[in-house]
Amino acid sequence: MQQSPCSVCGEALGEPIYTSCNGQSLTSLCRIHPGQTRVFVCRNCGHLQTSAIADVNAYYDSQYDILVESEEEDQIYEVRDGTTTYRTGHQVRVLQDKLGLHGHVDLLDYGCAKSSTIRALCSIVPGIVPHAFDVSTRYIPFWEKFIRAGNWAVNSVKEDWTSRFDLVTSFFSMEHIPAVADCVREIAGLIKPGGIFYCIVPNVFGNSADFIVVDHCNHFTPPSLRHLLGNAGLRVRDIDGNTHRGAFIVVAEKLSGEEAVKPQVSRAEIERTRDELSVIAEFWRNAAARIRAYESGLNDGRQIAVYGAGFYAAFITAALAKPARIACYLDQNPFLQGKEFNGRPILPPADLPNDLATLLVGLNPAHARAIIADIPALSRRKLNYFYL
């Protein structure tokens, strides 16, 4: 099978470092997608790349329906000491901490879906003039609530947007775009000289699930981000891998000319990046086998529960030999409670049935134990836990 070149630097990619073993893949919406997941790492720039799914444009236009059921629907960022923080609110606070926006700001949210972060930002920075761009018309009803008619575009940006914006934002969209180098060059062309590109992308080192998400064709690393942005004429101010859990926050400035910025990347950094990615690849090669081994030790045939109703939970479900033994899923997100996941109810942790004693934890392994320990309804129960 012929493999495309690196989407960041254009260099040829070698053999994949990870291939899913069962002919099936998982999407970022936790759905099974036919075909293998094939993941490559670039020797030149350290970019991690997954073979793009077939007919990718149609997929995002008709199947990618993230958080479209209501204006209020959101994802939990964290629950700490009983207090829930949602992702939109966290993203607004961090953006303002980093940029301190005030006065008149022409802003474009690129690949924006509902653009809920920018809508919330507009409520605290009244000088923002918001614009929106996405590849699907399904989000227009959300934009109409806070964006002036004529200030959005679908499928292609408007010609009169060239060098128009003080700020272009992108929240978890760049990972989905196969021709990402062309995309970032287009974004750079929309920013005024001295303007800012602010984006958030998954950090595979902080959230290893991103490694096997089939509709994330790009898994950025610090060296590949510097290559990507520099070659588009954007000077990187900051790549922050700490402030948003499981993500990189990137701030870059548009230069006054068309010149490329020479990325400051050493061969040692790229080799170190490749070694770290190889460790993650090995984790996922072994994860399904570990789940099956744990399942085989549950000889009593009783039903089990899974904590989480997201990607890690979907992976656990797909790996089980007998997924029908799952009685329910638990999640603290009130927007998920009362719904179903893989045909089973999603319950708040306090509603875990008394006859269930085994809980498979479908959470980011880096944070799973701390999250579970902070849930009083579970700490009061004597449960058998499995962690990825």
Residue type, 274: R
Burial of 107 by CB count in 10 Å (0-12 exposed, 13-18 middle, 19+ buried)? buried
C-alpha span between 91 and 94 (Å, rounded): 5
Between the alpha carbon of residue 195 and those of residues 105, 189, 191, 218, the distances in Å are 10, 11, 6, 25
Whose CA is closest to 304, among 368, 361, 350?
Answer: 361
Question: Is the same domain home to 128 and 173?
Answer: yes
Element (H, E) at 77: strand 76-80
- Residues 66, 140 share a domain: yes
Integer CA distances (angstroms), 198 to 56, 135, 174, 182, 239, in order: 25, 20, 11, 17, 10
Amino acid 254: pLDDT: 94
47 and 70 in one domain?
Answer: yes
Task: Give the three-state DSSP class for 173.
Answer: coil
Q: Which of 267, 216, 222, 217 is nearest to 241 (CA)?
A: 222
Give residue 301's pLDDT.
Answer: 78
Which of 239, 269, 292 delimits the end of a domain?
292
- CB neighbours of 203 closer than 8 A, spacing ≥ 6? 210, 220, 241, 246, 247, 248
- At 270-321, the pLDDT tens digits run 999 999 999 999 999 899 889 999 999 997 778 999 999 988 999 999 888 8
> Is 314 in the same domain as 208?
no
Residues 6+ apart with CB under 8 A from 160: none
Residues 301 and 184 in one domain: no
Contact 233, 260 (CB under 8 A): yes
DSSP 8-state code for residue 145? T
75-99 burial code (b ≥16 CB/10 A, e <16): ebbbeeeeeeebbbebbbebbeebb
Give the span between the Cα atoms of 85 and 33, in whole angstroms: 31
Of 227, 257, 292, the one marking the end of a domain is 292
- Which CATH number do you get for residue 37? 3.40.50.150
The tally of domains found in the chain comes to: 2
Residues 162, 26 share a domain = yes
78 and 185, same structural domain? Answer: yes
CATH number at residue 337: 3.40.50.720
Beta bridge partners of 188: none
User: Given this model, what pLDDT does residue 67 score?
Assistant: 42
Domain boundary (242, 264, 292) is at 292
Nearest to 8 by CA among 151, 164, 179: 179
Residues 6+ apart with CB under 8 A from 275: none
pLDDT score, position 71:
47
Is residue 7 located within the same domain as residue 55? yes
Specify the pLDDT at position 270: 93
Q: What is the 3-state secondary structure (H, E, C) of 257-304?
A: CCCCCCCCCCHHHHHHHHHHHHHHHHHHHHHHHHHHHHHHCCCCCCCE
pLDDT at 260: 59
Please list the ranges in the chain whose pLDDT falls under 70.
Answer: 1-3, 22-23, 54-74, 77, 257-261
What is the rounded (10 degree) CA torsion for 241, 244, 248, 249? -110
139, 262: one domain: yes
Q: Are residues 244 and 344 in the same domain?
A: no
Q: Is the pTM of this model over 0.85?
A: no
85 lies in the same domain as 181 = yes
Domain that holds residue 331: 297-387
CA distances to 12, 28, 212, 226, 344 from 314, rounded to whole Å, are: 33, 10, 12, 33, 12
Q: Are residues 110 and 205 in the same domain?
A: yes
Residue with tokens 């984790």: 283
